[in-house]
Amino acid sequence: MVTFTVLGSGSCVPSYRRSAAAYHVRWSDGSLLMDLGPGALRRATEAGIDWSSADAVLLTHFHMDHFADLLPYLFALKNTPGLGRSRELVLFGPVGVVDVMTGLAGLFGSWVRMPGIPLRIMEYGDGPVEIGRCRVEPMPVRHSRGALGFRLEVGKVAIAYSGDTGPCDELIHLCREADLAVLECAATEEVLANHLTPEEAGRIANEAGVRTLLLSHFYPSARPDDVLARCRKTYYGTILLAEDLQQIVLAEPPK
């Protein structure tokens, strides 16, 4: 069984209702975080998630609405009284994540370089990423330089996450027959370059044969009825609109 929790269904625009992009995935003996936008840690505590035990943090790209809580996360790992964690944390991101972390360590010093636990920094191209039983397939998507989407496979359960992207073949590949595809849908009010409209997200899900489509990354102006109706024009499966703290439980299909 895999539990997917939305920690942030919003965008860079401050919103009481929606935190910026962040998701948590938990399986029987492991867990990871995907993106850590501002507000992610607070939402994780609100959801009752044991944020401190994540085996990995996967970053899709370096826009602040996707990774601004990374430093508070490392700081909290080091300074939360009684945590006592000694297990390694994998930090995986686009090409450049090593340079980003080196730069941040230059600014903030030892707690970035030595957050009190072994930190293994990996970037795209370093080879396959396996976080315990979770196989991670990263793939470049159409957004900022080096931006990635992810496909996670835990046993027979497959989850795809777009990060930020415009429509591209790579995204269809990541989403192929996924049990859950989490696609950004930032372009609801106007066409935004390198983001998805509801129709485009639906088209991707349809072509990839996705079982459940979760639309996320909404600006405050997004109107749920409108988003749903527009996505329904191109996709006939189950469509969910993300809300902060929403949980989706995925069970492995019977053998």
Please identify, using beta-carbon distances, which residue of 11 and 31 lies nearer to Zn ion.
11
Strand partners, 166: 142
Q: Which range touches Zn ion (CB under 5 A), out of 72-80, 164-172, 226-234, 238-246? A: 164-172
C-alpha gyration radius of the chain: 17
- Please tell me the distance from the alpha carbon of residue 255 to that of residue 171, in angstroms, as a whole number: 28
Q: What 3-state class would DSSP assign to 29?
A: coil
Binds Zn ion by CB under 5 A, chosen from 35, 123, 153, 164: 164
Residue 16 buriedness (CB in 10 A; 0-12 / 13-18 / 19+) = exposed
Q: Sheet harboring 134-140: ordered strands across?
A: 129-131, 134-140, 148-154, 157-161, 180-184, 212-216, 238-241
Convert residues 165-194 into a mask of x (bound to Zn ion by CB under 5 A) and - (unbound). Answer: ------------------------------
The answer to whether residue 195 forms part of the interface with Zn ion (CB under 5 A) is no
Binds Zn ion by CB under 5 A, chosen from 18, 43, 63, 151: 63
Q: Which range touches Zn ion (CB under 5 A), out of 49-57, 89-97, 159-167, 208-216? A: 159-167
According to DSSP, residue 73 is labeled H
Please identify, using beta-carbon distances, which residue of 123 and 179 lies nearer to Zn ion.
123
What region does 227 belong to: left with phi over 0, alpha with psi -120 to 50, or beta? alpha
Binds Zn ion by CB under 5 A, chosen from 36, 38, 65, 196: 65
Q: Which range touches Zn ion (CB under 5 A), out of 43-51, 62-70, 222-230, 235-243? A: 62-70
Q: Are 238 and 248 in contact (CB under 8 A)?
A: no
Please identify, using beta-carbon distances, which residue of 69 and 164 lies nearer to Zn ion.
164
Query: What six digits make up the tokens of 193?
Result: 């370059």
Query: What six digits make up the tokens of 6?
Result: 């939305």
- Please tell me the distance from the alpha carbon of residue 162 to that of residue 93, in angstroms, as a whole number: 14
Four-residue CA torsion sign, 238, 207, 226, 163: positive
Closest contact distance (angstroms) between CB of 217 and Zn ion is 6
Size of the site for Zn ion (CB under 5 A): 3
Please identify, using beta-carbon distances, which residue of 33 and 154 lies nearer to Zn ion.
33
Convert residues 114-153 into a mask of x (bound to Zn ion by CB under 5 A) and - (unbound). Answer: ----------------------------------------
Closest contact distance (angstroms) between CB of 194 and Zn ion is 8
Closest contact distance (angstroms) between CB of 147 and Zn ion is 7
Interacting residues with Zn ion (CB under 5 A): 63, 65, 164
